[in-house]
Structure 1
Amino acid sequence: MINENKPVATVTGLYRGTFSGLEPLTKDTPLTLDEVRRNPVFYELELDPDEEDTDLIVDIIYDNMSPMRLQDLFRGSDIPKGVRFWPDWFDIPPYQKMLDMDGHRVYPRAPGIHTVRIRTARRKITQRGKKRDFSPENHGYISPVYEFAIAADTSENRE
């Protein structure tokens, strides 16, 4: 029996960009404050091969804040045809202080452990400018919680 509500794309990992390529990003491999300011964080999508011509909508939920809309991904231009895994990227919010969905203060670029969830679904032409549909009926998906760390700036303590 085929699952008609199979996700159009799932997230398989978070990565940092380096000169030698992409490296897994975990709470045990912290980003430096300079990396946070200058470099995006990459996430890897595993695309459903049965949905080869489907465009995607993607949102990110950072530190339990309200979902932030990422660029829509169009198959054939933003996502090359025939590529099974596709890395995309997001920037850590550039704010010193924000409120999460419950109204609690969060500090997006502060040293410590941070969380990310990414949700994906099919992009419908009728969704343009309207509420986006991440339901299972629209082949929606929400990733598990990914944790990563931002290191404290230790350059002041060096002699």
Structure 2
Amino acid sequence: MPDNPAREPVAKVTGIYRGKFSGLEPLTIDKPLIQEEVRRNPIFYELDLNPERGDENLIIDLIYDNLSPRRLPDLIRGTDIPHGIRFWPDWFSIPPYREMRDTDGRRVYPRAPGIHTVQIRTGVQKRARIGGNRDFSPEMGGFSSPVFEFMIAGDDNV
């Protein structure tokens, strides 16, 4: 058991998924998204919420293909995340642009066929900081997921 549970992450991202009629399916390089799924369907990520920090509100940023972090909606405990729910799938959309620039200024194509990456950061939302600086440091219960890879299929590999 850790010496200081307040330093444990408030939430960890454990996987990314595609939504199917049969439920959620893990999203991997081996099972590419088709262009129609990219246009219409969100990608789900699963949060493993720390049960000892169950009253904390969450801030979440998404880093897609090494682009600047994109702020996702804050999740308020008891409203957006019900109390007592340990795993909670949320979602994000692939950026709707054909071409963008990453944090180093290189061109990236978020919806192009090929392998794409996503990393998700979670942290605690302090009421005094709502709308202010976002702190994802481990001291504040922050967590950065591993970099997840998935594929968008081209016309030749559907």
Helix, strand or coil for the counterpart of 1:34? helix
- Secondary structure of the 2:73 match is coil
Look up the match of 2:112: 110
Q: Per the alignment, in what secondary structure is the counterpart of residue 129 of structure 1? A: coil
Q: Which residue of 2 aligns with 1:43?
A: 45
Computed over aligned residues only, the root mean square deviation of the Cα atoms, in angstroms, reads 1.2
TM-score by length of 2: 0.95
User: Deviation of residue 2 (structure 1)?
Assistant: 2.1
1:135-154 superposed matches below 5 A: 135-154=137-156
Residue aligned with 2:25, SS: strand
Partner of 1:130: 132
The whole-number CA distance in structure 1 between the counterparts of 2:72 and 2:7 is 22
Counterpart Cα distance in 2 of 1:37 and 1:85 = 26
Q: Quote how far apart the aligned CAs of 1:154 are.
A: 4.7
Which residues of structure 1 form unaligned runs of 5+?
Answer: none
Shift of 1:15: 0.2
Q: 1:73 and 2:75 equivalent?
A: yes
Residue 123 of structure 2 corresponds to residue 121 of structure 1: yes
DSSP 3-state at the match of 2:136: coil
Amino acid across the alignment from 2:132: K
For residues 59 and 78 of structure 2, the distance between their equivalents in structure 1, rounded to whole angstroms, comes to: 15
Percent of residue pairs identical? 65
Report the count of equivalent residues. Answer: 155
Q: 2:19 aligns with which of 8, 17, 21?
A: 17
Instruction: Specify the SS of the correspondent of 1:71.
Output: strand
**Residue number in structure 2 paired with 1:30:** 32
- Which letter maps to 2:105? G
Counterpart CA distance in 2 for 1:128 and 1:79 is: 17
1:59-95 alpha-carbon deviations (Å, 9 max, x no partner): 0000000000001001111111111110000000000
Matched to 2:127, the amino acid is I
1:14-65 Cα shifts (integer Å, max 9, x gaps): 0000011100001111000000000000000000001111000000000000
Which residue in the other structure is 1:2 paired with? 3
Which structure 2 segments of 5+ residues have no match? none
Runs of 4+ displaced beyond 4 Å: none
Q: Measure, in 1, the Cα distance between the counterparts of 2:48 and 2:120.
A: 13
Secondary structure of 2:89's match? Answer: strand
